[in-house]
Amino acid sequence: MSRRSEENLRGIPMKPYDLLREGLVVLSLLIVVIVVLAVVFGSPDYPPVRSEDVAQRQPIAYLETSAGFLAGASDADKYGPPYTPDYDDAQRVFGIAPANWWGVAIPLEPARDFVLKPLARLAAIRPDVASALQTYKSATPDRRRQWVNAYVAAPDHATVAQGRPVIPPGDYGPVGLVMAGMLDLGRAGLLEGALDSGARLPYTLDFTRSLLFFQDDVDHAVAEKLDMLGEQWGISHETGPYPGAWWLWPYTFFYQIPPMSKSSNGDLQVALIWSLDRLARQSFCWADERSRAR
């Protein structure tokens, strides 16, 4: 305490005060309150959607997804940049498609990357899968297309017996065994590793392919049950009705109103709105600073 402070406080009753102890007491009470609230009101910890779970619980959906990739009939085939060179499907505003400026930065061929490459690893220990792959690759494109198209329609009439899908008879060629290999790969929990593995690194940092594998039907169905879709404000809350990233509400609000809610270019439109808003705010700040400087 300074000399002047001592002179000003002379004659005033005082007692010792331990600020550190009070801070520790308050911190301890806050920890107890936070733990109790987390136990009582904590948001659910929903497990991730794994290939192992899908292959065991929804084997028909798993086969539909795999066959769609092999047939070139998935959304990933026409995603556009940065995955595929389908520039016509890129999101546009006033005819401008920023995604096309960078082009295909992450090349992706769904049939090759989602089916044939993962199965090549399984073929090293499964001679039947290796033989089926060889037969499929050596066939003409038209013949391969006939086999795959026949198999793509089969899961609609398939049944499940003792946890295994029963595919109706048909002219599937080696595709039937190829899809059975894909199912076994998923049931063993090895699909993600086969999709994301890279020969250049001893560890995996890129999970793009495993995240894209179920992003159409399977992940969409799970997200819908958990109220996590875009039209359900899913980006701004936890699974179900639990609040989450409330600071994203202003951003996700635009996804709920036309034309963004109905447009296939909604993502780009919302990003443009926020970019223009940011630019306008910055311009006002600059103008205000200039007026004050004068």
User: What's the average model confidence in pLDDT over 19-46?
Assistant: 86
Report whether pLDDT(1) > 60: no
Is 35 within a domain? no
76 and 198 in a common domain = yes
User: What's the average model confidence in pLDDT over 83-103?
Assistant: 88
The pLDDT confidence band at residue 7, using thresholds 50, 70 and 90, is: confident
Is 253 within a domain? yes
Number of domains in the chain: 2
Is 108 within a domain? yes
| pLDDT at res. 294 | 66
Domain boundary among 213, 231, 260: 213
190 and 57 in a common domain = yes
196: Cβ contacts below 8 Å, ≥ 6 apart: 204, 206, 207, 208, 209, 210
User: Quick one: CA dihedral 142, 146, 152, 153, positive or negative?
Assistant: positive
Burial of 151 per CB tally in 10 Å (0-12, 13-18, 19+): buried
91 and 185 in a common domain = yes
171 and 117 in a common domain = yes
**pLDDT tens digits, 183-218:** 999 999 999 989 987 655 667 778 889 999 998 888
User: Quick one: CA dihedral 216, 218, 221, 225, positive or negative?
Assistant: negative
| pLDDT at res. 199 | 53
Is 81 within a domain? yes
Global pTM value: 0.77
Is 154 within a domain? yes
261 and 163 in a common domain = no
Is 218 within a domain? no
Domain boundary among 213, 230, 257: 213
- The Cα 273–Cα 257 span in angstroms is 13
Q: Which domain holds residue 272?
A: 245-293
The pLDDT confidence band at residue 241, using thresholds 50, 70 and 90, is: low
